[in-house]
């Protein structure tokens, strides 16, 4: 590491640690260490080193490397944030790297991209349930069926008049588009697959076999039930995803929208009976092994399990973000209201997370002066305008 970077790090009052894993050309797992900090010339982000972690991927091993790195560079007392990907070994609030680092450095809040966190909420809320994984595997295969053949794609354009988006493993907004499209074009897709089966002489064996399987899926109760369930869940998730991707919204606004999303997901419990009954009308009652016993109770349990998993993931993934409400203290759009009513809740958030780093009474006075100064400046500027503009 260059001497200039060492000097910058030594002078920085606070630092954030970023770790990310990648695989090099020799197929070895490399962990990158990056420090982010503020200097007199602005925010700096410095890559420091790679470290081979091929045989050391447990949370205990990575946390020990992170703490050793911070100790080596004199940053143990200066770390205020840690930023990793959303993998359980890194992000888990119980036994992940971030939790183990916080045991040693409590003020090191874990920060993760809001939109990526929502992607993980949805994906982790699904993969824990076998039936959901099977459903999304079928759905992904449905999209791939058309992308592999120009002839099939042309048929899709002619009959459905809409392409099926491909699914990306970490981008659940793409899965949302696919669910929405299949839900909307379900009858047209049935016609398409029926056409392939009926005109079998025009297609190869693989296409006929797949078309027959997808035609069966589209008429299957379980597939239809999950399609309706996730179509409604994603309708709420898409709205939240767009908000979290928008850089113009402040953190408190985003967290409020996350809370509203949870209320909507909780409210989906009341939608079960209608989803179940409408699916029965469309496909008939569950058949096969699901036809024995109380199928309604079985699917209600699955439905509740999906909602519980999503709600639990939201609580886990956004837990630390609630501690960042103090960022609104420096939101210029709120300064006018802050001058009238000092933001005690946001200031309490700062006190809880980073109180020892500040002279809190002095900081509160300086913030109050700043809010008041900006209001006076705005009034002065308004009075300096020509009378006609001032009246407008």
pLDDT digits (tens, 9 = 90+) for 96-146: 888 899 999 988 888 776 666 676 677 766 777 899 989 988 988 988 899
How far, in Å, CA of 385 to CA of 392, rounded?
10
Decide which of 245 and 361 is more confident.
361
- pLDDT band, residue 20 (cuts 50/70/90): confident
- Residue 292 to residues 58, 84, 285, 297, Cα–Cα distance (Å): 43, 46, 11, 11
How far, in Å, CA of 118 to CA of 313, rounded?
9
- pLDDT band, residue 92 (cuts 50/70/90): low
Compute the average pLDDT of residues 210-238.
Answer: 93
Asked if 108 and 93 touch (Cβ cutoff 8 Å), the reply is: no
Q: Cα 285 vs. chain centroid, distance in angstroms?
A: 35
Tokens standing for residue 354: 């980073």
The single-letter DSSP state of residue 285 is S
Helix pair angle (172-184, 221-245), 10° resolution? 130
- pLDDT band, residue 380 (cuts 50/70/90): very low
pLDDT for 172 equals 61
Query: Does 302 score more than 80 pLDDT?
Result: yes
pLDDT for 383 equals 41
Asked if 179 and 223 touch (Cβ cutoff 8 Å), the reply is: no
> Buried b vs exposed e over 180-217: b needs ≥16 C-beta within 10 Å?
bbbeebbeebeebbeebeeeeeebeeebbebbeebbeb
Query: Does 239 score more than 80 pLDDT?
Result: yes
The string of pLDDT tens digits covering residues 161-205 is 998 887 665 566 668 888 999 999 999 999 999 999 999 999 999
Determine what percent of the chain is predicted with pLDDT higher than 70.
Answer: 84
Kindly give, in sequence order, each residue whose CB lies less than 8 Å from that of residue 173, ignoring residues fewer than 6 positions away.
Answer: 119, 237, 238, 241
Query: Does 382 score more than 60 pLDDT?
Result: no
pLDDT for 113 equals 66
User: 337: exposed, middle or buried (C-beta count within 10 Å: 0-12, 13-18, 19+)?
Assistant: exposed
The string of pLDDT tens digits covering residues 262-298 is 999 999 999 999 999 999 999 999 886 655 568 999 9
Determine what percent of the chain is predicted with pLDDT higher than 90.
Answer: 41
- Residue 233 to residues 111, 220, 250, 307, Cα–Cα distance (Å): 25, 20, 24, 9
Helix (H, G, I), strand (E, B) or coil at 293: coil
How far, in Å, CA of 181 to CA of 160, rounded?
10
The single-letter DSSP state of residue 34 is E
Mean pLDDT score of the chain, rounded to an integer? 84
- pLDDT band, residue 245 (cuts 50/70/90): confident
- pLDDT band, residue 389 (cuts 50/70/90): very low
The string of pLDDT tens digits covering residues 326-354 is 888 888 888 889 999 999 988 998 998 88
Query: Does 241 score more than 90 pLDDT?
Result: no
Query: Does 69 score more than 50 pLDDT?
Result: yes
How far, in Å, CA of 147 to CA of 210, rounded?
13
How far is the first Cα of the chain from the last one, in angstroms, to the nearest whole number? 59
Compute the average pLDDT of residues 374-388.
Answer: 50
- pLDDT band, residue 366 (cuts 50/70/90): very high
The string of pLDDT tens digits covering residues 40-64 is 888 899 999 998 888 777 888 899 9
Query: Does 305 score more than 50 pLDDT?
Result: yes
Q: Cα 130 vs. chain centroid, distance in angstroms?
A: 22
Decide which of 314 and 235 is more confident.
235
Q: What number of other Cβ atoms are within 10 A of residue 110's Cβ?
A: 23
Query: Does 312 score more than 70 pLDDT?
Result: yes
């Amino acid at each position: 590491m260059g001497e200039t970077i060492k000097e910058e790090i030594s002078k920085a009052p606070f630092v954030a640690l970023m770790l990310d894993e990648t695989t090099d050309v020799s197929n070895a797992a490399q962990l990158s260490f990056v420090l982010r900090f503020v200097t007199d010339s602005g925010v700096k982000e410095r890559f420091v080193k790679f470290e081979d972690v091929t045989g050391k991927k447990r949370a205990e091993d990575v946390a020990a490397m992170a703490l050793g790195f911070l100790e080596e560079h004199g940053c143990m007392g200066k770390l205020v944030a840690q930023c990793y990907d959303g993998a359980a070994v890194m992000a888990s609030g119980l036994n992940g790297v971030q939790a183990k680092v916080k045991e040693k450095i409590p003020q090191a809040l874990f920060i993760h991209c809001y939109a990526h966190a929502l992607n993980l909420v949805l994906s982790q809320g699904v993969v824990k349930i076998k039936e959901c994984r099977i459903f999304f595997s079928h759905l992904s295969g449905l999209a791939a069926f058309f992308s592999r053949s120009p002839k099939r794609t042309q048929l899709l354009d002619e009959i459905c008049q809409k392409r099926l988006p491909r699914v990306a493993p970490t981008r659940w907004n793409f899965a949302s588009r696919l669910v929405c499209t299949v839900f909307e074009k379900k009858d047209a897709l049935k016609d398409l697959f029926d056409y392939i089966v009926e005109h079998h002489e025009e297609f190869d064996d693989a296409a006929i076999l797949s078309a027959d399987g997808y035609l069966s899926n589209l008429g299957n109760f379980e597939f239809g039930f999950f399609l309706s369930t996730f179509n409604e869940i994603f309708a709420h998730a898409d709205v939240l995803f767009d908000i979290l991707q928008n850089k113009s919204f402040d953190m408190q606004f985003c967290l409020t929208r996350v809370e509203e999303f949870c209320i909507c997901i909780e409210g989906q419990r009341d939608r079960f009976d209608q989803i179940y009954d409408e699916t029965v009308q469309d496909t008939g009652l569950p058949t096969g092994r699901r036809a024995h016993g109380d199928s309604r109770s079985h699917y209600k349990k699955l439905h509740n399990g999906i909602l519980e998993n999503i709600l639990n993931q939201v609580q886990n993934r956004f837990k630390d973000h609630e501690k960042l409400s103090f960022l609104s203290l420096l939101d210029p759009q709120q300064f006018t209201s802050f001058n009238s009513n000092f933001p005690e809740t946001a200031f309490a958030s700062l006190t809880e997370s980073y109180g020892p780093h500040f002279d809190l009474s002095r900081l509160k006075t300086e913030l109050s002066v700043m809010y008041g100064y900006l209001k006076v400046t705005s009034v002065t500027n308004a009075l300096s305008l020509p009378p006609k503009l001032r009246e407008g």
